[in-house]
Structure 1
């Protein structure tokens, strides 16, 4: 499962443009917004290939960067973002 940069930015408490700018500044994304080191970071950042037909320009083949579920805490660490832990939930099996 992978998340778009926009959704990953929401999970980190940022806007997606600010997230991409910080990732480019840290060298995680290239100028084309694709992973700068795809082999090194493949557990955290992946690319998704798409295709669609444009009536004037023919087939288009866009590539987008996606963040894996393991990539959210990794990105927070790489960018120095403090993420609060979720509130502890009571265990429903505890009936004492």
Structure 2
């Protein structure tokens, strides 16, 4: 499962701008894309998007996605404590 930076920030107990600022400070992001996409490929990836605009034609975008393993990795890289994950009680009779 992949998350946007906003979703990852929520899971880490931060806001998206604060997460981006911390990631830039630690040289994990350049702009809003991974600074080292090959090195960090197990944790972050670049998502390519495209859409058609009636006047301007094809438009292209790139954004950062955080992989499942990237949440804990980001917390370690940024020196954050992960919030406790609530227990899953759905299978309790």
TM-score by length of structure 2 reads 0.88
Please report how far the alpha carbon of residue 83 of structure 1 lies from its aligned counterpart in structure 2 after TM superposition.
1.6
**Whole-angstrom distance in 2 between the partners of 1:7 and 1:38:** 20
Q: Is the 8 A contact 2:13 2:83 kept in 1?
A: no
**Whole-angstrom distance in 1 between the partners of 2:47 and 2:82:** 27
**Whole-angstrom distance in 2 between the partners of 1:86 and 1:35:** 27
TM-score by length of structure 1 reads 0.85
- The aligned counterpart of 2:4 is 4
Q: Is the 8 A contact 2:12 2:82 kept in 1?
A: yes
Query: Which one scores higher on RCO, CA 8 angstroms, separation ≥ 6?
Result: 2
Runs of 4 or more, structure 1, over 4 Å off, are: 87-92
- The aligned counterpart of 1:63 is 62
Please report how far the alpha carbon of residue 86 of structure 1 lies from its aligned counterpart in structure 2 after TM superposition.
3.1
Higher-Rg structure is 1
Distance 1:87 1:65, change over 3 A: closer
Gaps spanning 5+ residues in structure 1: where? none
Deviations 1:29-87 (A, max 9, x none): 002x1100001000000011110011222111101100000000000000011124335
Once the two structures are overlaid, the 10-residue window that deviates more, 80-89 or 2-11, is 80-89
Structure 1 counterpart SS, 2:34? coil
Cα RMSD (Å) of the superposition?
A: 1.8
Structure with more strand by fraction: 2
**Whole-angstrom distance in 2 between the partners of 1:14 and 1:39:** 26
